[in-house]
């Protein structure tokens, strides 16, 4: 039997959109403490209630290596601005 080196879990909103994605990379456990602390990664998604387009992607929310992407759409629901 092969040993699992990690996994990815998803949670979904009522519309079937990915709400949270969590990854576990067990290979990082064998490294230094600083590397082992990077084992888990989380990405959260926020959607517009009506159009269901992505409003925001939050990578590692509230952590030191966090980054956020904000999406704006025009009147025709076309992406016209991406802010980091």
**Distance between CA 5 and CA 9 in Å, rounded?**
14
pLDDT at 47: 96
Question: Region 28-51: what's the mean pLDDT?
Answer: 82
* Eight-class DSSP state of 62: T
pTM: 0.81
The pLDDT value recorded for residue 53 is 94
SS3 4: coil
């Amino acid at each position: 039997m092969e040993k699992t080196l990690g996994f990815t879990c998803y949670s979904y909103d009522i519309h079937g959109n990915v709400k949270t994605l969590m990854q576990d990379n067990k290979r990082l456990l064998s490294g230094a403490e600083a590397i082992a602390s990077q084992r888990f990664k989380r990405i959260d998604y926020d959607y517009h209630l009506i159009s269901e387009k992505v409003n925001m992607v939050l990578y590692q929310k509230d952590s030191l290596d966090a980054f956020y992407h904000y999406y704006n759409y025009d009147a025709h629901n076309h992406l016209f601005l991406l802010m980091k």
